[in-house]
Amino acid sequence: MSSIQIKSSVTIEDLLQGVAQLEGKELDDFIQQVLSMSVRRKAGHLGERESELLELINESFPAPVQQRFRELDEKRRAETLTEAEQEELIRINSEMEMQNVQRLKYLSELALLRKVSLRSLMEQLGIPAFHA
């Protein structure tokens, strides 16, 4: 694990400079930990299931998979994909779609718990609306 140097009394700017030194998986792990910390702090105001749902909603695909998807999609647009790469792109896309379907289920459940519409919940959480 990489380490970052920070002062004992840290300003937000110092903290951000330290975080800027993180790369790849370490940065993703840090972000996930911060999101989890935020959810736990809000848990005093939320029920246990709401906290669980928020953590699940905020889970993201691993950075290397996201990067590979972008690379393959770029090759697809340039029409330079090999057959194996096309199959890999389809597989990754299917996995991402399944994760989005699951996330939508979690969002729907959270909306029911909070007794608000799905659209309203998504606005509250700053999640862009899906377009058909």
Q: How confident is the model at residue 36 (pLDDT cuts 50, 70, 90)?
A: low
pTM above 0.95, yes or no: no
Reference 102, options 67, 61, 41, 44; nearest CA is: 61
* Exposure string over 59-87, b if 16+ CB within 10 A, otherwise e: eeeebeeeeebeebeeeeeeeebeeeeee
Please state, in angstroms and rounded to a whole number, the distance separating the CA atoms of residues 64 and 69.
9
Task: Dig out the tokens for 96 from the structure.
Answer: 């991402």
pLDDT (tens digit, 9 = 90+) per residue, 43-98? 556 688 998 999 999 888 899 999 999 999 999 999 999 999 999 999 999 999 99
**Domain residue spans of the chain:** 1-42, 47-132
